[in-house]
Each structure stands twice: as C-alpha cells, then as structure tokens.
Amino acid sequence: SQQGEEDPQALSIQEGENATMNCSYKTSINNLQWYRQNSGRGLVHLILIRSNEREKHSGRLRVTLDTSKKSSSLLITASRAADTASYFCATDEPSNYQLIWGAGTKLIIKP
Amino acid sequence: DAGVIQSPRHEVTEMGQEVTLRCKPISGHNSLFWYRQTMMRGLELLIYFNNNVPIDDSGMPEDRFSAKMPNASFSTLKIQPSEPRDSAVYFCASSLGGGGSPLHFGNGTRLTVT
C-alpha cells in the first residue's frame, strides 16, 4: 500500500539550482527514509530520519521532518545533471516491518 | 560489497510459460524483500523473508506466484503460469535488521509477458 505522497510529481530545474521535494504521510511513524532511483536501476537509500529528529544533512542533501504536519522535505542543493532521477519517500510504522512508499517525484536537471 | 544481485536483467516470455527470477542478497543481511514496480501501481511488496523464513506473503497476487529462500544467500520468485499483466520490474532488496532498516535494492528484472 502507498501511504506517502510526494509533491510535486515532476520537477524540472536548471543545473546549479536547488531542488525541493515534499512527502506527506498519514500515520505515526518510526522513521522516514528517502531513496533515489535512476532510470533502469534499483532504488538507492539516501538518508533516514527518525521520528524524534527534525533535520538531517548528508552532503548536498538536507531532510526535514515535521511530525505534527506528517510531512518531510528533501532539499538537494547545487543540483547536478547526475541528480536526475526519481525520488521516493518511505515510512515505517511502529510495530510494523513494512515500508510504506510514496509514488515518487521525477526530478530532471537541465544542463 | 557486491550489492544485491538479481538475474536475469531482462526476461521476455510468452503467456503461460514459467518464469523464475533469482536474487542473491548482501552477505550478512537477514531480511529479504521482493517488490514489483509498475507505472500504475508503483512499488508493491510481494513477500518478506526474515532469516530465510517467509514472514508475510500477503502481497503475492495469486497462487501463480511463489517464492523460496532455501538459504541465506539465495532466493527465487517463480510465476507459473505467467500472464501479460505480470509484466513489470521485479526488485529484490535486502537489509540488516528488517523493520524500518534501510533497504539495499538489486537492479531488478524487467519481465515482459507477451
């Protein structure tokens, strides 16, 4: 089942600009994860943020989590052509092993 | 770390034929997941193994689908008989710890059933 909803569904920006993607979910969570999927490839884990964390950084990635609004955002700074991919959020609920996936945001970086 | 290895990368078969997809998880990982991805339905969890034991197969579409994990380093997903609506990309993923642990995905098998 899909709980998360990414917004926007598609995003096209110029290289060097920042890209922001959002994810909303419906129930209480333990963690929220972001994944990247390049065309024709498997998903790659980017970052995990726990429900008691509000912000996390990894290189050019910045993730925020607002549990009161049941939402998260992924910011990619100084975008590069190689960032062109689909980005998915996934949540896991307490006492549930299963990850609930969003439908993804397709990001295109124009050179 | 060789990552999760899936084979074949592409499979084209005719309706009614048996299809077997294979997966080698990352050594040491104790959880294994089979997913199916389509444009219409996104990522769907088919089955989850923990320590080689199937924990939840409620996502398996019907009896035509079966999965096995005979040991910690190998799993198969079989479709018999295959149908055109089974056309999708099938992913295997493994993790250490299960639950909400980060998943490591293979590059998938693109299945086309004509």
**B35 pLDDT above the threshold of 80:** yes
Average pLDDT over all residues of chain B: 95
Closest CA–CA distance from residue B39 to any residue of chain A (Å): 9
Contact A89, B93 (CB under 8 A): no
In this complex, is the C-beta atom of A40 within 8 Å of any C-beta atom belonging to chain B?
yes
What is the secondary structure of B3-18 as a DSSP string?
A: --EEE-SEEEE-TT--
C-alpha–C-alpha distance, residues A103 and A24, integer Å: 11
Query: At A87, which helix (H) or strand (E)?
Result: strand A85-92
**Cα separation of B49 and B75, whole Å?**
9
User: Looking at the predicted structure, is the pLDDT value of residue A1 above 50?
Assistant: no
* B37, pLDDT greater than 50: yes
Nearest CB to A42 within list B55, B91, B98 = B91
At A2 the pLDDT is: 40
B42, B55, B93 member nearest A2 (Cβ): B42
pLDDT tens digits, B89-111 = 999 999 998 768 999 999 999 99
Tell me which residue in B4, B48, B104 faces A97 most closely, judged by beta carbons.
B48
Decide if A69 touches B, using CB distance below 8 A. Answer: no
Q: What is the pLDDT averaged over residues A23-45?
A: 95
B45 touching A (Cβ < 8 Å): yes
pLDDT of residue B1: 62
For chains A and B, CB pairs below 8 A equal 51
Q: Is B25's Cβ below 8 Å from some Cβ in A?
A: no
Cα(A50)–Cα(A27) distance, rounded to whole angstroms?
14
